[in-house]
Amino acid sequence: MRPVVIAANWKMHTTPADAGELAATIAARTRVDAPVTRVICPPYVCLAAVGAALAGTAVAVGAQNVHHELTGAYTGEISAPMLAGLASWVIVGHSERRRDAGETDELVGRKLRRAVEAGLRPIVCVGEQLVERETGQAEAVVRGQIHGILTAFGDATFGDAAADLDESGAVIAYEPVWAIGTGRNATGADAATMAGVIRAAIAATGLVDLAAAIPVLYGGSVTAGNIGEFLAEPAIDGALVGGASLKPDEMAGIVARAGLTAAARSGGAG
Ligand code: PEP
């Protein structure tokens, strides 16, 4: 059974002075009697403060990015080994980084490799642009992203890449770019269709077990008001939440709804 995951992407918000208090508030407000995996991804400089605030809670800490090399002349960058002790999860391939830092599927695959090597649980983001959806290319685009990322990942020179990815606890976030930060979300049915496309694309690379086991999250203007539409879809296993993740009331509502899904899927009440 796949876990239900709610991950918060704080983007370039909060400071080391205020991030810990917000994280502690969200942790307290999102406690549910159901197996919901909660992750908060603050800016790099807030990882230590958030980690300290979440010590003793079940909420994990994630980074929002990681470099594709281990060390070297990369001014301003952070490598996977540097995140040891600061984060247990990491987002790779967010569309804002594809847009602003020119990240390609090939680069995202190499970042994924570094994350897995370092024992970080990756949240791998894929999703189409508005024009691609409007011209009927959404499925092909996302299929191509998965293929490109996993091809670059499979070039790994370490161990058995497939087994390592299987064991990494990786999740995929389907995030249609036109829905991120716009207040315009996909429908639950469209998100479920795309989750099927993602799993088929993973299976097509030979990773058949991973395709069935990997959680697929939806991301794009998720709120407490619309999370139910996504979690009603058996193919959707949670959400990557941006703007609403900075609001404790919203996070409380989102995780409470996720708790109902987690309880129902694990055969309990709810
Ligand atoms: C995101 O940052 O991944 C995201 C989905 O943002 P928002 O929820 O604000 O659309």
Q: How confident is the model at residue 114 (pLDDT cuts 50, 70, 90)?
A: very high
Among candidate residues 67, 68, 94, 96, the one labeled active-site is 94
Task: Looking at the chain, list the stretches that DSSP marks H as alpha helix, in order from N- to C-terminal side.
Answer: 19-29, 47-54, 95-101, 105-117, 130-134, 138-154, 161-167, 188-204, 208-213, 227-231, 248-265
Q: What is the pLDDT of residue 270?
A: 43
- Phi-psi domain of 137 (left: phi exceeds 0; alpha: psi -120 through 50; beta: other): alpha
Band the pLDDT of 61: cuts 50, 70, 90: very high
User: 211 with 238: CB under 8 angstroms?
Assistant: no
Given the CA of residue 94, which atom of ligand 1 is nearest to it? 3
Q: What is the pLDDT of residues 197-208, one digit of tens each?
A: 999 999 998 889
Average pLDDT over residues 242-268: 95
Please choose, from the candidates 94, 138, 89, 137, the residue with its C-alpha nearest in 3D space to the C-alpha of residue 116. Answer: 89
Q: Looking at ligand 1, which residue's alpha carbon is closest to its atom 6?
A: 242
Q: Which atom of ligand 1 is nearest to the CA of 221?
A: 10
The confidence score (pLDDT) of residue 163 equals 79
- Give 269's pLDDT tier (boundaries 50, 70, 90): very low
Q: Is the CB of 243 within 6 Å of ligand 1?
A: yes
Q: Which residue minimizes the CA distance to atom 4 of ligand 1?
A: 242
For residue 26, the model assigns a pLDDT of 98
In the predicted model, is pLDDT for residue 226 greater than 50? yes
Mean of pLDDT over the chain: 95
Res 268 pLDDT > 80: no
Cβ neighbourhood burial of 191 (10 Å; 0-12, 13-18, 19+): buried
Check if the beta carbon of residue 146 is closer than 8 Å to that of residue 97.
no
Pairing assessment for the beta strands 171-174 and 216-219 based on DSSP bridges: parallel
The per-residue pLDDT for range 117-160, each reduced to its tens digit, is 999 999 999 999 999 999 999 999 999 999 999 999 986 554 56
Cβ of 126 below 6 Å from ligand 1: no
DSSP 75-127: TT---GGGGTTT-SEEEES-HHHHHHH---HHHHHHHHHHHHHTT-EEEEEE-
Residue 239 CB–ligand 1 contact under 6 Å? no
Q: And the tokens for 204?
A: 């097509």
Residue type, 97: R
What mean pLDDT is predicted for residues 6-10?
Answer: 98
pLDDT value of position 166: 84
Statement: residue 193 has pLDDT above 90: yes
Tell me the CA–centroid distance for residue 207 and ligand 1, in Å: 28
How does residue 172 score in pLDDT terms, banded at 50, 70 and 90? very high
Residue pair 4/35 in contact by the 8 Å Cβ criterion: yes
